[in-house]
Amino acid sequence: MAELKQSMLVSRIAHSRFLWLAVIMVTCVSMIRVFAGSPENIPPPKGKYSEDTVCVEPVEIMRRRHFEYILDHRDKTVIEGIRTKQYSLIGCIDCHITPNERGEYARYSEETHFCASCHLFTAVTIDCFQCHADRPEEAVRTTLDLSGTTAWFLREVHERLQLDVLVQ
Amino acid sequence: MPYTLDTQEVDTARRSFTRGIVALGGLAIAPGVVLYHSAEAKPANQPVSGKQRWGMLVNTNVCQEDCDACVTACNEENGLWSLDRPATDAQWIRKLHVKDRQTGHVTSLPMMCQHCEHPPCVDVCPTGASFRREDGIVLVNKHTCIGCRYCMMACPYKARSFIHEPLQDQLPHSPRGKGCVESCTLCVHKVDRGDNNTACAEACTKDGHQALVFGDLNDPDSEISKQLKRHGGSQIRADLGLNTGVRYQGI
């Protein structure tokens, strides 16, 4: 009898609509918090591209096609030496990656980085920032001046990683 | 629609008239007038052209043995931060000291990508990542480089470096990363900006040695062309017939 009562209780809990609703809601809220990088935390861009347009193209088009513009522009820049600002990655970064209220610039590994915020949400993996700077030059230079130990830190990480492999 | 041949007749009278006008114009400005050769930057929206051929002249007679200002300036300009591993750290320019065993005379000189007209690195590159820009600058297109390092083996000047590990804090104008080969770009970002100089040459001049002169080899009025015409300049391994863009004096 006791076993039957227990199983009835379990099934009642499992079939409770309110409980499921609550579980779904909590999951949704935490998903949004984790993946959306909460837009209010992303510092606004430096300014407008021109009087008429906020970005180099209308925002709706940029959201869908920015990678096509960048891809097209990169070959023109590298091979032909065309250095127009409109579709240059440096231009994107200079305008969109701005310091937060504490004066810190987000890196691509952080969800408050303008590019990362959306790429995380849409599960897009890019490798632009393995080579390209994810922050404007002044931010890179500040980091270097501040610590001067970046190289040391990298070396430490590298050595520890190697050590871990050996231990395993 | 089928293609049709354009069989418009040529208006010969009009053409000869135009030719005459152009010739007259040429005659008018020819005597005593030298057209100002602009050293201004090309417009940003225009591709580079073969009108220029960028090069460098190294005067080893004034290059100081104990000075490495060019190397430091290059590292600083292009963000070549050392990982404190000299065997694998990237170097785009390095100082060499060559001793003549007979006389004991030591020649000090910087060595970097020689920006050949016929670059061996371009010949051997399997993906076309190694390429020579129209204006003579030899570059690696890191978007297509697969890191095979054939170019490093082909280069007679040992000018290229391979990046073995993940990098951080790259500068915006100098993207660099693991798995790609890289070398001196002749400060291509500065050239395109119209600076008309490289970081190494600027540093050398600032230190008062003036051993490095950067300029357009195709422009007879440029400082580099004038010096080369007056004093000459040799190529390292001229026997390979690569027609290098970097020339040396005093070796």
pLDDT averages per 10-residue partition of chain B, 251 residues: 52 66 58 50 91 97 96 96 92 96 96 98 98 97 98 98 94 96 98 96 96 97 97 96 97 89
Higher pLDDT, A16 or B87: B87
> Based on the domain organization, do A16 and A69 belong to the same domain?
no
The DSSP bridge pattern shows strands B246-249 and B54-59 to be: parallel
The neighbouring-strand residues paired with B96 are B109
**What's the confidence (pLDDT) of residue B36?**
46
| DSSP code at position A51 | S
Q: Are B239 and B49 in contact (CB under 8 A)?
A: no
- Res A3 pLDDT > 80: no
Residue of B nearest to A93 (CA): B172
Q: Are B221 and B37 in contact (CB under 8 A)?
A: yes
- Flag whether A127 is in a domain: yes
Nearest to A78 among B141, B167, B178 (CB): B141
Tally the C-alpha atoms within 13 A of residue B2's C-alpha that lie toward its C-beta. Answer: 2
The neighbouring-strand residues paired with B182 are B161
Range of the domain at A2: 1-36
Higher pLDDT, B121 or A148: B121
> Based on the domain organization, do A78 and A120 belong to the same domain?
yes
Helices A2-15 and A17-35: angle between axes, nearest 10 degrees:
50
Region A92-105 average pLDDT: 94
B164 touching A (Cβ < 8 Å): no
> Based on the domain organization, do A61 and A129 belong to the same domain?
yes
B172 touching A (Cβ < 8 Å): yes
For the entire predicted model, the pTM comes to: 0.76
> Based on the domain organization, do A45 and A19 belong to the same domain?
no
Cβ <8 Å between A151 and B193? no
B8 touching A (Cβ < 8 Å): no
* CB-CB neighbors (< 8 A) of B81 in chain A: 144, 150-151
For chains A and B, CB pairs below 8 A equal 79
Region A151-156 average pLDDT: 56
- Res A135 pLDDT > 70: yes
- Res A158 pLDDT > 50: yes
- Which helix (H) or strand (E) segment holds residue A144: the answer is helix A137-147
Domain positions in chain B: 1-40, 51-249
- Flag whether A141 is in a domain: no
Residue of A nearest to B164 (CA): A158
Tens digit of pLDDT for each residue in A29-42?
Answer: 555 555 444 566 88
pLDDT band at A93 (very low <50, low <70, confident <90, very high): very high
Question: From CA B187, how far away is CA B243, in angstroms rounded?
Answer: 20
> Based on the domain organization, do A55 and A115 belong to the same domain?
yes
How many C-beta neighbours within 10 Å does residue B188 have? Answer: 22
Nearest to B48 among A80, A94, A131 (CB): A80
Q: What is the dihedral of CA A60, A66, A72, A75, to 10 degrees?
A: 160
- Fold of the domain built from segment(s) B51-249: Alpha-Beta Plaits (3.30.70)
Tens digit of pLDDT for each residue in A108-129?
Answer: 999 999 999 999 999 999 999 9
Q: How many domains does chain A have?
A: 2
- Res A159 pLDDT > 60: no
> Based on the domain organization, do A56 and A93 belong to the same domain?
yes
- Flag whether A9 is in a domain: yes
> Based on the domain organization, do A51 and A128 belong to the same domain?
yes
- Res A86 pLDDT > 60: yes
| DSSP code at position B240 | G
> Based on the domain organization, do A44 and A126 belong to the same domain?
yes
> Based on the domain organization, do A99 and A16 belong to the same domain?
no
B140 touching A (Cβ < 8 Å): no
pLDDT band at A51 (very low <50, low <70, confident <90, very high): confident
Question: From CA A34, how far away is CA A120, in angstroms rounded?
Answer: 9
Print burial letters for A60-71: b (CB count within 10 Å at least 16), e (below 16).
eeeeeebeebee
Residue of A nearest to B89 (CA): A151
Print burial letters for B102-133: b (CB count within 10 Å at least 16), e (below 16).
eeeeebbbbbbbbbbeebbbbeebeeebbbbb
- Flag whether A124 is in a domain: yes
Please report which residue ranges of B30-116 form alpha helices under DSSP H: 69-78
- Res A76 pLDDT > 60: yes
Interface test with A, best of B42, B52, B169 (most A CBs within 10 A): B169
The residues near A158 (Cβ < 8 Å, ≥ 6 apart) are B165
* CB-CB neighbors (< 8 A) of A144 in chain B: 81, 169
Region A70-76 average pLDDT: 96
> Based on the domain organization, do A71 and A3 belong to the same domain?
no
- Res A43 pLDDT > 80: yes
How close does chain A come to B171, measured CA to CA in Å?
Answer: 6
> Based on the domain organization, do A64 and A98 belong to the same domain?
yes
Name the region of B17 (left: φ>0; alpha: ψ -120 to 50; beta: rest): alpha
> Based on the domain organization, do A14 and A87 belong to the same domain?
no
